[in-house]
Amino acid sequence: MKMRFEMIFIMGLNEFPMIPSLFGDGKNRKTITELKCLKCNHIQTRDFKVGDYIFKKVMDEKCDKCGSSKLVIDSVHDIIAPR
């Protein structure tokens, strides 16, 4: 393993083949966040905001169904918009 590390160090990181971009396929993508209400289990979606992560408690929004402010981020994912 030590020899492998030395090879990486000597070659430099910029000499490795480029990894294809996950988002460079020309498709129109949108990142959304799903919020789950802890009171009624309703799931609502909104546009992704910087700083969103799974299990984050969201205090500045309310549930669309029951009005509770106890929301947690359930998932963050990309969707591909139809052409």
pLDDT tens-digit map of 63-74 = 999 999 999 999
DSSP per-residue letters across the chain: -HHHHHHHHHH-GGGSPPPPPSS-SS--EEEEEEEEETTT--EEEEE--TT--TT-EE-S---TTT--S-EEEEEEEEEEPP-
Least confident residue range of 10-19, 59-68, 73-82: 10-19
Tell me how far apart the alpha carbons of residues 71 and 57 are, in angstroms, rounded to a whole number. Answer: 6
**Residue 28 identity:** N
pTM of the model: 0.64
Percentage of the chain beyond pLDDT 90 is: 53
Domains and CATH numbers, the chain: 27-83 (2.20.28)
For 37-65, write each residue's pLDDT tens digit.
Answer: 999 999 999 999 999 999 999 999 999 99
